[in-house]
């Protein structure tokens, strides 16, 4: 872990922007992938889709349900985890670690998937996630305000 920040962390919004989502660009197909939404209370929403444009992404997420998870902050690192149901009896637990480069850029440096206590995927592949501001609230944000 590096020490990129001199200010005290009082919440995720002191480290990164949370008024939008983070995504990476899949270089092999040129699509926007794995949008991540962070919330102040430690919740996370993930969409396991890829999109051609931000407009397509925002139109889909306005009416699709995300996978939900959580995150923890360790200095300048964010660890996320979410569970995906894959069959009637099965679940896959996904985990990723990100270095906070600045308030709009995250660098994924570790990811893994675990099924029934067995690692089915693990990677130290480095991906850069960029921030994009939302033009409307997510479904969860709309529910929270009601």
Element (H, E) at 89: none
What number does CATH give the domain 16-145? 2.40.128
Mean pLDDT, the chain, as a whole number? 83
Q: What is the pLDDT of residue 66?
A: 85
- What is the band of 143 on the pLDDT scale with cuts at 50, 70, 90? very low
Terminal Cα distance for the chain, rounded: 39
Instruction: Convert the pLDDT of each residue in 11-37 to its tens digit.
Output: 788 899 999 999 998 877 778 888 999
Residue with the larger pLDDT of the pair 60 and 44: 44
- Please report, for the chain, the start and end positions of each structural domain, with discontinuous segments joined by +: 16-145
Q: Three-state SS across 6-73? A: CCCCCCHHHCCCCCEEEEEEECCCCEEEEEEEECCCCEEEECCCEECCHHHHHHHHCCCCCEEEEEEE
Q: What is the pLDDT of residue 59?
A: 85
What's this model's pTM, rounded to 2 decimal places?
Answer: 0.81
């Amino acid at each position: 872990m590096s020490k990129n920040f001199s200010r005290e962390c009082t919440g995720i919004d002191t480290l990164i922007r949370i008024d939008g989502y983070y995504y990476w660009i899949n270089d092999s197909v040129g699509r926007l992938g794995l949008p991540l939404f962070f919330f102040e209370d430690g919740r996370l929403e993930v969409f396991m889709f890829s999109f051609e444009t931000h407009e397509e992404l925002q139109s889909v997420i306005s009416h699709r349900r995300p996978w939900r998870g959580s995150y923890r902050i360790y200095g300048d690192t964010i660890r996320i985890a979410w569970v995906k149901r894959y069959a009637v009896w099965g679940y896959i637990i996904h985990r990723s670690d990100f270095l906070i480069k600045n308030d709009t850029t995250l660098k994924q440096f570790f990811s893994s998937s675990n099924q029934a206590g067995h690692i089915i995927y693990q990677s130290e592949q480095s991906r850069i996630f960029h921030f994009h501001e939302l033009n409307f609230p997510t479904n969860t944000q709309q529910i929270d305000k009601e």
